[in-house]
């Protein structure tokens, strides 16, 4: 399985990192080895002094497909989740400066948190799902899928032009504003609407 991640999908997050607004979605992959094992803490890797949390809505693909039209994209997923795209911002800045790929900054072991899954039927619309991240009890990120530059079904259409989507693949749909550094002993708790999706200890 693969994790397909979208960058720069919320206008305010693009502003906070002073990135250019893209004409097309920014796409990168994480390998399955980047998935943080259930109930394990996240260990800050020794190659970074600036690991950031990025809370993101996740979509789990449950049908194989390629060149999926956005009209039919909703048939390719039944579950929505919440996770973190941990990013070594200092490593990423060096990669960006040189125009190099981002994998060392985003695809390392443990860099993908995948929380609980929820049936999409429990949300009135997948394009209006509120979510948030608390760090040590204080809300640091909050977003709503209505604020995405490219909505979930548009992302499926876009990424399936390049990659065959397989059962179990997960799409990370991008982070809203409020990303920030994590330090040892932090606790990160994610909520999707009123449901707790994950609680992660940083070490």
According to DSSP, the β-strands at 3-7 and 170-172 are: parallel
Nearer to Zn ion, 85 or 157 (CB): 85
User: What is the closest distance, in whole angstroms, from the C-beta atom of residue 129 to Zn ion in the complex?
Assistant: 17
Footprint of Zn ion (CB under 5 A): 54, 85, 175
Task: Find out whether 162 and 27 touch, Cβ atoms under 8 Å.
Answer: yes
Nearer to Zn ion, 56 or 157 (CB): 56
* Other C-beta atoms lying within 10 Å of the C-beta of residue 84: 28
Q: In angstroms, what is the minimal distance from the CB of 72 to Zn ion?
A: 26
Report d(CA 40, CA 56) in Å as an integer. Answer: 19
Q: Kindly compute the dihedral angle of the four CA atoms of residues 80, 17, 202, 49, in this order, to the nearest 10 degrees.
A: 150
Taking the complex as a whole, the smallest distance from the CB of residue 74 to Zn ion amounts, in Å, to 23
Nearest-approach distance from CB 65 to Zn ion, in angstroms:
23
Q: Which residue is nearest to Zn ion (CB)?
A: 85
Q: Which is nearer to Zn ion, 78 or 95 (CB)?
A: 95
Q: Which is nearer to Zn ion, 54 or 169 (CB)?
A: 54
Residue 156: CB partners within 8 Å, gap ≥ 6?
A: 59, 61, 68, 70, 73, 76, 77, 165, 171
- CB-nearer residue toward Zn ion: 65 or 134: 134
CB of 160 to Zn ion, least distance (A): 19
Residue 125: C-alpha distances to residues 10, 20, 44, 79, 120 (Å): 18, 29, 36, 13, 8
């Amino acid at each position: 399985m693969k994790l397909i991640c979208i960058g720069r999908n919320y206008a305010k997050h693009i502003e906070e990192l002073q990135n250019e607004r893209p004409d097309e979605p920014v796409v990168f992959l994480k390998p399955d080895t980047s998935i943080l094992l259930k109930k394990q803490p996240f260990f800050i890797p020794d190659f970074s002094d600036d690991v950031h949390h990025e809370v993101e809505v996740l979509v789990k693909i449950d049908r194989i497909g390629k060149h999926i039209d956005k009209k039919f994209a909703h048939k390719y997923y039944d579950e929505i989740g919440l996770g973190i795209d941990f990013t070594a911002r200092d490593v990423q800045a060096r990669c960006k400066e040189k125009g190099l790929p981002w994998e060392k900054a985003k695809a390392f072991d443990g860099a993908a948190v995948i929380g609980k899954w929820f049936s999409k039927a429990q949300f009135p619309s997948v394009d209006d799902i509120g979510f948030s991240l608390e760090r040590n009890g204080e809300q640091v990120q909050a977003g709503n899928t209505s604020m995405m530059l490219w909505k979930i079904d548009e992302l499926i259409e876009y990424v399936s032009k390049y990659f065959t989507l397989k059962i179990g693949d997960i799409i990370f749909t991008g982070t809203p504003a409020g990303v920030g550094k994590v330090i040892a002993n932090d606790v990160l708790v994610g909520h999707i609407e009123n449901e707790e999706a994950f609680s992660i200890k940083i070490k």
